A and B are shown apart, each in its own frame.
Chain A
Amino acid sequence: MSRRAAAEHRLAWLLCAPAVIAMLVVTAWPMLYAVWLSLFRYDLRFPDQRQFVGLDNYLSVLGSETWWQALFNTLLITVGSVSVELVLGFVFALVMHRALIGRRLVRASLLVPYGIITVVAAMSWRFAFDPTTGFVNALLGLDGAWLAERWSAFFVIIQTEIWKTTPFMALLLLAGLTLVPEDLLRAARVDGANALQRFFRITLPLMRPVIMVALLFRTLDAFRIFDTVFVQTRGAQGTDSVSIVGYNTLIARLNLGLGSAVSVLIFVCVLAIAALYIRGFGIDLSRREDA
């Protein structure tokens, strides 16, 4: 290696060091610490009774109905919101792509849900569906206590997630739409392909990489759902998400051992989802690094 190359390596590592150290110290190390804590019986209310228990915490989490219900709930919210977001995001992206008048207005208004604090969005929808303060019941001629029952609460939660994050999906898809060559679509139109055929045979296949990346990010993001559930139900009526269970165990009940086992299991789930997307659907993330 030449001296110049060595100097370049040194400079590069010097520049990267602060960020890399920060990421290692504040994420990698706490994650390892969580794995370590999960092997102990460790309740902050009784710190003297700290004791190594091996995999007992995992066994009690995996043996509890709370965990499996929360996992089911989280997957339900994830699949429910991300699938609707994909369709709705596509519609919004097409509107922005095709609308001649008001395109900027549409884009600007879509940035509003993106920019709003999630807690605020969740509050607004909670008040809207509330039987005392809300307008939804009056509008629909119903008198339901939406957040007091499990399935209608899920509807409100998923609906809030969709409202808040569809813009992100739509903006990514819009960027993907602009990569589809207009000539190709025009040629297909001349050859007699109708709008649906053009969309399913040309636009969709060409956008596959963008769609997969958007889906991966949104799925992982939706799986972490915490704010909306916390504000709207606090996990009552059987609407716990796994993050809520983790928070309740760790912070509300101060049970670090058991809570860390929950944390590690959530991390494993996230890894599994990422692996499923990357292996199963063949997203090539590394390709994008050399762009």
Chain B
Amino acid sequence: MLEAKDLTKKYEDGLLALDHLNFKVEPGEIFCMFGANGAGKTTAINLFLGFIPPTEGTALIEEIDVVKEPLKSKDYVSFVSENVMLYGNFTAYQNLDYFSKLAGKRNLTKAEYAHVMKRVGLQEEAFDMRTKNFSKGMRQKLGIAVAILKDAPNLILDEPTSGLDPKSGQEFLDLIIELRDKGKSIFISSHDIFRAKQIADRVGFMLQGKLVMMKTKKELKGEDLNKLYIDYMQEHSGAE
């Protein structure tokens, strides 16, 4: 479970990047957060991963405060970035091996790595290829393979489908659904409303550091999420 309680971040230059953010992602739920660039989505992720300290509030992973117990909290979360960049001189196997060890997963066999790579849709001939020759889609798949191998109960994805072709994007979403069905709490920050609405159990709209709207899948039924997002943003931008 991921939970933000009044999570606030004000940078040294005075910019209020996140303003009392509150949300909870339950096990077996996908929460998609939308917002324009600079809305505060990535700041929220950085706070959950302990890369920056909050000004106020708390970020909890499995009820562990990430500020108080930063290392322990990381045992319960996997992260897939917008642009998964691995060690280019390493093969897919070597990258998986290294990051699995960092995640505390030792003694995994080559067969287990191969199984996960197949599961995320990587072609067998890519297993021994240096990742500097991988396409973005292949790198994203390997990134999710790293997350799967870590097998943490929570998954944070930062713009995971940006730049992916339709086929790769769909394959990626299928994997996320599979993980959700296994009981993972999944937090996705995205611009890609079209893809996200296919999988989201709940969506939130961020504007200038604030979570200005939150709707469940049920509430969204029959609504045009894209239109809703644009209208909402225009309305609130005008009101500011």
A complexed with B: no
* Chain B residues near A (Cβ < 8 Å): none
* Chain A residues near B (Cβ < 8 Å): none
